[in-house]
Amino acid sequence: MSAMSHEGRAGADPFGPFPLLADLVALAPTNLEDPAHRREEKHHYQETADFLLATARRLGLPARLWDAREGLEGGRDRFSSARPNVIVELNLSAPRTLLVLAHFDVVPVPEEQRERWLSPPHTLTARENGRWYGRGSNDDLGSGVVASLRALHHLSQRGSLPVGVRLLLSPDEETGGAGGIEALVAHDQALPVGSPERFLLGEAAFLPDGSPYVAAGSSGVCFLDVDRDRPGPFAQFVALARRVETFHQVAQEWRSSLPTPDFPGGGGRNPTIPGRATVTRMELAGARRPGPLPSLVTARAESEAANQIAGAVTLQFAGSPEALEALGRSLKEGAREPFSVRELTGGKEGELWTQIVGRAGHGGYPHRAANPVSEALRLLESALVDGLVDGSSVAEGTFTVDLRSPPEMEVGPSLERFRSFFEPLRSACPGARFVAPADRQRAGYSLSPDHPVVVRVQRTYEAVTGHPVGIFGEYGGTDASALRRLKTPSGEPLPAVVFGSMDEEAHIHDAEESVDPRRLAEVEELLFRLVSEWPSQRPGARPEG
């Protein structure tokens, strides 16, 4: 493998796509929220925002910072650390304004992923296949931040523009947007309708945070933390999680009217976006218990984000060597393709450490991954039935459900369906409960495929690429959902369209995340043309003067 890091490009344009993206990847603005364990890590938010502010200004673009913690009423009580948003504005004296939204936070790189990276995840690396590898290289430092800044820079070199443009580079998108887009919306809602001080006042919004097609809608998302209010038998936890998994069958019956280019498992094309329910995280802690059967000590999905499907689940058991050997053999022999079971070394005598290995992925795209949480639960259930593990040993813990709804569906109905489904489970697992924090919920967003803005983006995209570009729905959630109740200056619903460079080889949220620089150039050119070719007045509007 031939690699070329940022440092290897001495003399390159510091505002070229590779050096700029390399600096951002190296800053590593990771975003972790783990309410169940009271963990919150917003690494390098302020440093990244300061870098973006300085970069925009060096590019000749007017820019400023707005910190939700300082600028939002109650912000200091709500946010434990800074939530800086970078506001870049160009030609706002024009009669119409377009909005561009991108996010600079990235998902963490869990330990499980690191051994699957062929280069350091926070060092942008160019390889012989032409792609650039690094965490955030696509989602959304590349597809959104770099492409947008460069497009605005080139727009600023033109003598005049028909419209103004406001670029908002925000944090917190990967965990729901609380300090980013949601805070910007809250800021605007505290101001009079049509106030020029509103951040999100424009004719249309573009989000380069998607795939290389026009996305007229994106899924809703709700993260549910499931646990029980007291320690209880380990077998009950397994049974509860297995039952909750079956809610996926209910959610799949929810269907969008928007088609999808994704090909879910089984090889058949899924004509429209369904709902999904995926158990993405599991963390159980049990007590060592003397007896003839092994007892569970820990069970942990190797992921640090609720919207990530882990690549592996680590299980620790304690017991006699003979019983542990039988259990380990059963787990290995029972694993189904594409899963595997590997025994870990380093455990003490009387312990078995083993991993159920699958394929990591984005929680919104479960058909692209092989979820080891699901396989681990199945294997544990089988071991309990076969009498190979002590189901009465006491355990406590939690697991997380990534619940996705179709673009047209509100969060309320999907949550109520889950609540109705969950209620009967309490009898089998006393004390079972779930929480769905409001700031970890987001409704879907949809726009008619024949909306004039959607059609304009599609035609412009096709002119840029030279080939047909489809109109679909986006499997994942996007910040477009936060805009769904906003209005344009003329009082019409604000249209938002998603597109981007996240092609099938992007591996967003997983090891080996990468971007094709040709896709990046297409997004940059698309944004440039959308702004420079946008009509200065609404159709039918009376000419000024």
pLDDT in tens, 328-352: 999 999 999 999 999 997 768 899 9
Residue 318's nearest CA partner among 358, 357, 290, 340 is 290
Q: Extract the tokens encoding 163.
A: 């419209």
Of these ranges, 138-147, 303-312, 471-480, the one predicted with the greatest mean pLDDT is 138-147
In the predicted structure, residue 124 carries a pLDDT above the cut 80: yes
In the predicted structure, residue 526 carries a pLDDT above the cut 60: yes
Residue 166's nearest CA partner among 90, 95, 52, 65 is 90
472 forms bridges with which residues in the sheet? 215
How sure is the predictor about 269, in pLDDT bands with cuts at 50, 70 and 90? low
Q: Extract the tokens encoding 400.
A: 């997380």
In whole angstroms, give the CA distance from residue 405 to residue 401. Answer: 13
Contact 215, 472 (CB under 8 A): yes
- CA–CA distance from 337 to each of 278, 371, 372 (Å)? 19, 12, 11
By CB neighbour count within 10 A (0-12 exposed, 13-18 middle, 19+ buried), where does 313 fall? Answer: buried
Instruction: List Cβ neighbours of 332 (8 Å cut-off, separation of 6 or more).
Output: 341, 343
Contact 168, 101 (CB under 8 A): yes
Residue 366's nearest CA partner among 445, 305, 276 is 276
Q: How many residues does the chain have?
A: 545
Q: Mean pLDDT across the chain, nearest whole number? A: 91
In whole angstroms, give the CA distance from residue 107 to residue 173. Answer: 10
In this structure, the number of other CB atoms found within 10 A of the CB of residue 263 comes to 13
Written in H, E and C, the secondary structure of 72-119 is CCCHHHHCCCCCEEEEEEECCCCCCEEEEEEECCECCCCHHHHCCCCC
The model's pLDDT over 143-197, given as tens digits with 9 standing for 90+, comes to 999 999 999 999 999 888 999 999 999 999 998 899 999 999 999 999 998 898 9
Q: Pick 407 or 476 by higher pLDDT.
A: 407
CATH number of 4-217+444-532: 3.40.630.10
Q: Which residue has the tokens 């970069």?
A: 55
How sure is the predictor about 317, in pLDDT bands with cuts at 50, 70 and 90? very high
Contact 275, 473 (CB under 8 A): no
Q: Extract the tokens encoding 432.
A: 């079972």
- CA–CA distance from 13 to each of 59, 123, 460 (Å)? 12, 18, 28
- pLDDT on residue 53: 98
How sure is the predictor about 8, in pLDDT bands with cuts at 50, 70 and 90? very low
The three-state secondary structure class of 517 is helix
By CB neighbour count within 10 A (0-12 exposed, 13-18 middle, 19+ buried), where does 60 fall? Answer: exposed
- pLDDT on residue 191: 94
- pLDDT on residue 2: 38
Percentage of the chain exceeding pLDDT 90: 77
Q: What's the first-to-final CA gap in the chain, in angstroms? A: 63
The three-state secondary structure class of 415 is helix
Contact 480, 446 (CB under 8 A): no
Cis (ω within 30 of 0) for the bond into 140? yes
> What is the pLDDT averaged over residues 220-242?
93
Q: Extract the tokens encoding 362.
A: 């984005």
Contact 252, 275 (CB under 8 A): yes
- pLDDT on residue 541: 52
- pLDDT on residue 36: 62
Distance of CA 226 to the CA centre of its chain: 20
How sure is the predictor about 101, in pLDDT bands with cuts at 50, 70 and 90? very high
- pLDDT on residue 13: 81
- pLDDT on residue 238: 95
Which CB contacts under 8 angstroms, 24+ apart, belong to 51-54? 51/23, 51/24, 51/27, 52/24, 52/86, 52/104, 52/145, 52/149, 52/169, 53/86
- pLDDT on residue 10: 36
The model's pLDDT over 47-97, given as tens digits with 9 standing for 90+, comes to 999 999 999 999 999 999 999 999 999 999 999 999 999 999 999 889 999
- CA–CA distance from 316 to each of 110, 204, 288, 380, 505 (Å)? 19, 52, 10, 12, 34
Q: Extract the tokens encoding 524.
A: 């940059």
pTM for the full predicted model: 0.87
CATH number of 220-256+275-441: 3.30.70.360
How sure is the predictor about 540, in pLDDT bands with cuts at 50, 70 and 90? low
What are the domain boundaries of the chain? 4-217+444-532, 220-256+275-441
In the predicted structure, residue 522 carries a pLDDT above the cut 90: yes
